[in-house]
Structure 1
Amino acid sequence: MQSHPSHPELSELVRKYPQAAGSLFQTYNDLKLAQQWEDLAVLDVPACARGAFRGRRPKTDDTLYVVPCSLAESLSMEWFHAAFHDLGRPPHVYLAINAEDSNIVYYKLSPGIVKPPV
């Protein structure tokens, strides 16, 4: 991982949260290289013991937040509340669930009960 071009951006959080390093690395590279997000920033989410990301999809103005995790992790409602709190209470957060085969599924989470668009 140290020889990869994304290592300098992630090295501090990889050392701080080694258990979340794989999902952090995989999600960062997906957002940066495959999806080509703009203004991608790496954030520390200490209450969840991991890093997260803030950025924009190409050609959009909306700032989005992404919290990576592994498919094998067990998450709780308290964990989600802590993530929203540490990220400054955005209107929604994307949970990037990383599988062992490098697949990533993104789920949009909103606080409380939100009626889906019709």
Structure 2
Amino acid sequence: MTPLKTIIYNENEGSFYDKLYEDEKLGDIFNELKEKRILRMQEIYNYLNKLLNNPPSLPSNYRQLASNLNDIVKNAQMTSDEKAKYSKITKKIEDKRVTNQDLIELAEIYNKYIIWEENFETD
């Protein structure tokens, strides 16, 4: 009987894929690909709602979402590295090629400068 991995990859025994299984690298590769996978708009919404303090309005197009994210932090006193990284990530959103890892990095910067609305409420 032919092993399932041979059927899936249409490879012979002793192939590159066997080496990946032996070294247990396939899981690492899968996780890396999952992290680098380009997200669709609905996935972006879900992640932003979970990750961001006081998330911006979430429009139906990528360009407007990037604009909203930039508008909220435009007066924030970020470091030049943070500004560059934030700008790069919002550009990726606009270009429809943002990943999970990008959103995590964006959230770290965003949440550092955006305070929950409740903190501004007065009694």
Q: Scaled by the length of structure 1, what TM-score is found?
A: 0.28
Greater strand content: 1
Greater helix content: 2
Bigger radius of gyration: 2
